[in-house]
Structure 1
Amino acid sequence: MEEKQVSWKERLAYAMSDFGCNTIFQIVGTYFLVFSTDTMGIKASVITGLFALTAVIDSFDGIIWGQFIDRTHTKWGKSRPYWLWFSIPFALFCVMAFSAPNLPYTWKVVWIYVAYIGVKVLYSGVNIPVTSILPALTSNPQERVVLSTVRQFFGNMGASILLPLTLPAVAWFGMRFGSSKAEATTSAAGWFIWALILGILTVVCLLTAFAGTRERVVTKDSNRSIPMRESVKALKGNYPWAIIIFINFVYWGAFAVRSSSLPYYFKYVLHNEALGSWVLAGTVITLISTALVPFLTKKIGKRNTMLIGMVGTALSQLILFFADRMSGNVPMILVGVVLYYVSYGLTGALIAVMLSDAVDFGEWKNNVRAEGFVTSFSSFSAKLGMGLGSMILSAVLASGGYVAVSAGHSVVQSGSALNAIRLGFIWIPLIGYVASCIALLFNNVDKIENKMVADLKVKHENEQ
């Protein structure tokens, strides 16, 4: 299968897809809630309604995007064109999500509802192709691991650079446009300018991915429109798919709760907002563990490598709990953070690979190859989990009596509000990570991979 190998130039181009869309999406996931409450002055209970509505919408839009991909036939392929068509609309809505127009309260609510829903829907349009194109880039299982690892490496690198830079950048731009030092991190102008810069970067990265990749694994199903009723057959008995979709739901739901609650935890519980930015900078640690993924998968397999990462994320939450009980012991918190990022680096790259395995398994078992439909559930489950996670966090904050801060003002949160923040930062993510570990134990696709790949190779050769 040497002809299926891709060059380093193409690997890097593919990596730009994650560097572009996922980096800005992580910033939305981390800071949209705190921007809405502390800059826009929107009540947390109102954001709960937004997250609930978005979770419902996300239950459908990912599957619809997947059907679009399976029906797309262009000179550029099935998945690549979506980076060309939707990169600019996606970036525009991301900028809108961090814009604070001078409107009455009701219209501000309308603004953030439209912006956030637009971000979530269009994220599916540019992110599902990141996963659906992987089986078309190469049929070599180890090459898929390398491609996904390089993609995840650059995605994590973007997050490690831009996430910790966000608050300092917002403050810097805010002070340039008249905000005082005290209100700089809630500056509307600062947030808008920073989001605009990230939006431009996102467009450039996605267009680079479009220009630099090629869909080379073309099968009989790749050249025809697969109706929904036939696409569903690819899921029959497809237990690797069911497991990874469940993991996607609970793991990324836990991730969303942890990410969104992190700014609150360091600002109100530890009273050290600057440390929170440095903790986000720890994302750079994931680069080391992500780079080890191809080596580890060769030695112990994909499932076991991923399992180590998931167990590590669960243990990191327990360390944070003990650190919190010790009056916010900073050295222990940093130990937990390091373990979290090392473990996260082993996990993220392999989810897309296992979804590619599920595409192969569906074709191998049911004779239907529906890349768009099968992988679209990845976006559906991840976004549903992240949406519900964000909704749960905002509901927990509201029930705990969290008081939104208007720009330029400070507030002392009640004990119940602080406990709500702790619940979001420590305990809810722990539950999600433990559930992911248990589900992954039932995935044994590594044991049948060689036979599956060999059988599919013969099938594809006979179709030519």
Structure 2
Amino acid sequence: MASESTAKVVEEKAPSAVPKDRRYVGSKETFAYILDDIAQSFNIGKYDDVFRTNILKIDLKLQSLTNGIIGIWDIINDLFLAAIVDRTRTRWGKFKPWLVVYAIPGVLISLIYWSLPLVFGTQGIGSAMSRFIPYLILQIFNNLAGSLITIVRTGMTATITPNIVDRTRLISSANLLSGFVEKAPEILMGLLIDMYINSSSNKELMLTDLNAYELGYNSMFVIGGVITALASGLFALVYAFVAKERVMQTVDRPAITSGIKSVLTNKPLLLITLSEILGSFSVGLGTNLYYIEVLNLASMSTIVGIPGAVVSPISYSYVPWARSKFSTKALWIASSHVDSVLMLGVFAAGELINFKGKKGYENLAVMIPAFMIRETIWMFFWGLRSVIPNEMRNEAIDYGEWKNGFRSEGMTGVAKDIVSKVVNTVKNTIQPLLLGLFGYNVNATHGNQTPKARHALFWMCTFLPVVTGILSIVPKFFYDLSGEKRDRMYIELRERRKAIAAEVKEFNDQAGEGKTAE
């Protein structure tokens, strides 16, 4: 009887506990949030591997060393930054001040990084070590800034609205609308690279005046990097001044040990973390070097993504329906692993099909349809892939508040990533060495890698990442924060937050009375 009456109370309270028609985030703030979402991807970072390898000419062994150093530094700075952010209490909120603090230094670091070719020259002036040291220093500061803004953005999204429906709408809107803008730099950059390397006059220039050829090639990266850094910095600054926090923090600052304890007792967070750890063992390369060095087509991703560009916006329209019909666990598994299955199909096509005397992986006539089919099917799941992980992260933060009585967005975000970063540090240290092991030469001119290296570029971006990351699916089967359990959590949180808001108001009133008395 007791359980029946409890269930009845929950059912009666649910509509008022999670008011689905209450919209906290207005149009102006939604627009600013979308700008910030654009800022995170409005860059030419997709070609960073090409930039550091072929433009800056950083030795592969030194790239490996850099990845190891930065990986360790990333873990260290995550811990102290999370502790600082979690203990922040200001009249503007917990996260907003840090958004403003990050804005200018973050842009300056990006501007300097993309301007490095102006210092190094076309042939990488100086010894390998003289190029490596400034590159390493910039990576250290860039990682520090990146860690800070990741912690702050995660917390800001979790506190911008207490309504989960409002939050899902905000995330979906941002992912959908930003997609029409944020990919423009990388698409344009791919087209410019293709036009440059395939121009008959530039091919002749490469043979007659290599310095002039590489000066023009490098200039595209400098200009593209600088322009996008300035634009994304401006977008982020707009959001920093407009955004508001609406989930109240406790008056007392939580101790660091309490923050750690809240993480260790958070089952959803632990399962998400374990899945990401196992996924971090996925070793491989991105497709950029393969597209440019083997297929001679930097804009390959743009071409194969044309049908998917039509499908992708549609995929957001059925996210609310899917969330109401299927468990979070089912959506998480489907959206996370469909791409792996599809990529194995691409690998099979490249290895098994021969066309006009060439292996499939070297032939555009084979690879364009294979990648296009994969991309189109994957885009049907893109809305879920974009929204579900974000919502799960936010719900894990709310779960910690439900169980422990306080929020620890900073420590929660860091805990989710820290072990994965340990694995990634080892992985990122190994990957450049693997590339060198299979004969990739950073000093070779475009299109002159060995057949062994060309084949390695293919299977290291299709087959290897899938088989080395497959175990990440196992923890997903044990995730259970959905349905009645999630609804009950938000019912209780709503009442608790009302009490905290009253406590904060009383605290502020008492502080005001004290100043008046003085």
Asked whether the 8 Å contact 1:19–1:157 carries over to 2, the reply is no
Name the SS of the counterpart of 1:261 in structure 2. Answer: coil
Greater Rg over alpha carbons, structure: 2
1:430 to 466, 487, 490: 466
Taking structure 1 as reference, are residues 436 and 161 closer, same or farther at Cα in structure 2, changes over 3 Å only?
Answer: farther
Q: Which amino acid aligns with 1:265?
A: Y
Q: Deviations over 1:290-314 (max 9, x none)?
A: 4432332123243322322113111
Give 2:93's aligned residue: 77
Q: 1:377 to 1:339 in 2, by over 3 A?
A: farther
Please tell me whether the aligned partners of residues 4 and 137 of structure 1 are also in contact (alpha carbons under 8 angstroms): no
% of aligned pairs identical? 18
Structure 1: how far apart are the matches of 2:389 and 2:489?
19
- Kindly tell me: are residues 460 and 31 of structure 1, through their superposed partners in 2, closer, same or farther at Cα, counting changes over 3 Å? same
Displacement of 1:282 in angstroms is: 7.3
Indicate yes or no: 2:236 matched with 1:201. no
Residue 371 (structure 1) shift: 1.6
Of 186, 191, 211 in structure 1, the residue corresponding to residue 241 of structure 2 is: 211
**SS of alignment partner, residue 89 of structure 1:** helix
Q: Of 131, 142, 148, which residue of structure 2 is paired with 1:119?
A: 142
Q: Confirm or deny: 8 A CA contact 2:308 2:375 kept in the other structure.
A: no
Return the match for 2:110 from 94, 97, 105: 94
Q: In structure 2, which of residues 455, 466, 488 is the aligned counterpart of residue 451 of structure 1?
A: 488
Q: How many residues align?
A: 452
Seen in structure 2, the aligned counterparts of structure 1 residues 347 and 387 have a Cα distance that, compared at 3 Å, is farther
C-alpha distance in 2 between matches for 1:142 and 1:273: 40
Question: 2:57: which partner in 1?
Answer: 41
CA contact (8 A) 2:305 2:376 kept: no
Q: 1:426 Cα deviation (Å)? A: 0.9
2:39 equivalent to 1:16 = no
Instruction: Give structure 1 stretches of 5+ with no counterpart.
Output: none
Q: What's 2:26 paired with?
A: 7
Distance 1:152 1:252 in 2: 24
Superposition RMSD in Å: 3.0
Which residue is 1:298 aligned to? 324
Q: Which runs of 4+ in 1 moved over 6 A?
A: 170-175, 178-181, 280-283
CA contact (8 A) 2:294 2:447 kept: no
1:310-357 deviation digits (Å, cap 9, x = unpaired): 131111211211221121323122111223344344223222211111
The change in CA–CA distance for 1:122 and 1:411 in structure 2 (over 3 A counts) is same
TM-score between both structures, scaled by the size of structure 2: 0.78
**Is 1:104 the equivalent of 2:126?**
yes
The yes-or-no answer on 1:317 pairing with 2:353 is no
Measured after TM superposition, the shift of residue 119 of structure 1 is 2.1
Q: Report matched runs for 1:60-459 at 5 Å.
A: 60-98=76-114, 99-100=116-117, 101-102=119-120, 103-105=125-127, 106-169=129-192, 183=213, 187-220=217-250, 223-249=251-277, 251=279, 261-279=286-304, 284=309, 286-325=312-351, 326=353, 327-328=360-361, 329-330=366-367, 331-378=369-416, 380=418, 388-405=426-443, 409-431=445-467, 434-447=470-483, 448-459=485-496
Q: Output the CA distance in 1 between the equivalents of 2:328 and 2:238.
A: 29
The alpha-carbon distance between structure 1 residues 272 and 460, as it changes in their structure 2 partners (threshold 3 A), is closer
Superimposed CA distance per residue, residues 279-298 of structure 1 (whole angstroms, 9 cap, x where no aligned partner): 46777454432443233212
- Relative to structure 1, the CA distance from residue 121 to residue 16 in structure 2 (aligned partners, 3 Å threshold; closer, same or farther) is same
Give the deviation of 1:195 after TM superposition.
0.7
Instruction: Kindly state the Cα deviation for residue 388 of structure 1 after the two structures are TM-superposed.
Output: 5.0
Kindly tell me: are residues 186 and 368 of structure 1, through their superposed partners in 2, closer, same or farther at Cα, counting changes over 3 Å? farther
Is contact 1:307-1:440 (8 Å) kept?
Answer: yes
Letter in 2 for 1:443: Y
For 2:277 and 2:189, locate their aligned partners in 1 and report how far apart those are by CA, in whole Å.
27
For the residue of structure 2 that corresponds to 1:271, the secondary structure is coil
Q: What is the rounded CA distance, in whole Å, between the counterparts of 1:89 and 1:366 in structure 2?
A: 35
Deviation at 1:144, TM superposition (A): 2.1
Q: Give the distance between the partners of 1:122 and 1:249, measured in 2 at CA.
A: 23
Q: How far off its partner does 1:393 sit? A: 2.7
CA distance in 2, matches of 1:428, 1:371: 34
Give the whole-Å Cα distance in 2 for the aligned partners of 1:154 and 1:110: 40
Larger mean Cα displacement after TM superposition, 235-244 or 301-310 = 301-310
Farther off after superposition, 302-311 or 165-174: 165-174
C-alpha change, 1:122 and 1:379, in structure 2 (3 Å) is farther
Contact persistence 2:273–2:417 (CA under 8 A) = no
Residue segments in structure 2 that go unaligned for 5+ positions in a row: 1-17, 207-212, 354-359, 503-518
